[in-house]
Structure formats: structure tokens, C-alpha cells
Amino acid sequence: MKRIATTVIILLITMAGMAQGQVNLTREERKILKKEQKKQAEQIMIMNTAKALHVSQYILKADRVRGRGGVMINVNPRINFVSVNGEEVFVQLGSESGLGYNGLGGITLKGRITGSSIEQDEKNGSYYILLNTMGTAGSLTISLNVNVTGEMANAMVTTNWGSRVDFIGHIVPNGRLQVYKGTESY
């Protein structure tokens, strides 16, 4: 009997200690805490995006692709991207079918950056990046518009043949996202 009473007392003391550890926040306090956490996460995203863009180590992961005719198509972001890694650029357009020049249902172009410029808007902090590249398939001009957090990005890729493809998605610092690179064309 004494054992049971002792066990119950120990359990009650433990539960009382655990109850004191839990702080019940009011609805207003939870709202403020959530806003602060969101603000901190946004500041981290702003810093990561700025660093990735300035050191040329990022991937534009495309959720949608728009052709020259203006038709927008939802695509798989793991196989549709524009990757910038230092002086090297990969532009890949693929589909789920797996039938194409690169083995992923599309085309993969690799090139070297021959000229680049980056500008940041004073008003809203968005970035405008212009990349001129040269590869075995010819030259590409890539114009990127990126918002300050990197959550919205648009890359307009034009070739020297007059073709144009827009990649619409978001920026991810290089190394944080796994993408599937197909066989390089040409």
C-alpha cells in the first residue's frame, strides 16, 4: 500500500512540474509570436538569396514554363531549371515522358558566362540579372527577375536563333536542392 501511495505521489509531483513547464499563450501572443517567426524566416531568405545571387551559386527551379506563343505549362521543377554555378550555366527543359535529346524528355544546354550584370531595385529590393553565355549549342541570353526573398523568379532565355522560353519559379541557393541533369545536347 505504501508503494502505491509513494508511486502516486511521485507521479503527481512529476505531472505538476511538467504542467508548470508548459506556458499557455493567449491568442494575441501566439499571433505575435507567429508574425515574429515569419519575419525572421523572411530575413534569412533575403540574406540567402542576396548571397547566392552575388556569388553566382543558385538554381531557378521552374514550376511553370512559357513558350514564345505565350502558352504556360506546369512542369516538374526537378527537371526544369536554370542553374548558375560560378561561371558555368545549365539550362534544362524536360518533360515527364523521358523522350528527348537529354534522356529526360527535353534538352539540356551547358555554357560559360561571357558577360553578366546584376542590379537591385532601390524601391522594392528585387534583382535584375543579365547573363550572356556561350556554349557548344550557341549563345544564350538569360534575363532573370527575382524578388527580394527569391520566392518569385522569372528567367527569360533567348537563343541566337530567335527562340525564347520563360522559366517561372523560385530561386534556391546551389547545393540545397537536388535536380536531375540530363545528357548535355551537342
pLDDT tens string 91-102: 988 887 767 776
Q: Report all structural domains of the chain as residue ranges with CATH numbers, in order of start.
A: 1-186 (2.40.128.410)
Alpha helix stretches (DSSP H) within the chain: 2-21, 27-54
- What local confidence, expressed as pLDDT, does residue 55 receive? 92
Q: Average the pLDDT over each of 31-45, 79-93, 141-155, 169-183 and give the range with the smallest value.
A: 169-183
Q: Which DSSP string do the residues of 51-66 spell out, in sequence order?
A: HHHHTTEEEEEEEEEE
This prediction's pTM: 0.78
Q: Which residue has the higher pLDDT, 175 or 33?
A: 33
Look at 18-22, 38-42, 98-102 and tell me which has the smallest mean pLDDT.
18-22
- Tell me what pLDDT residue 180 has: 57
Distance CA 145, CA 53 (A): 11
Q: How many CB atoms lie within 10 A of CB 90?
A: 20
The pLDDT score that the predictor gives to residue 24 is 76
Predicted pLDDT of residue 11: 67
Distance CA 84, CA 80 (A): 13
Could you give the CA distance from residue 88 to residue 169 in angstroms, rounded to a whole number? Answer: 20
d(CA 131, CA 144): 8
Of all residues in the chain, the percent with pLDDT exceeding 90 is 39
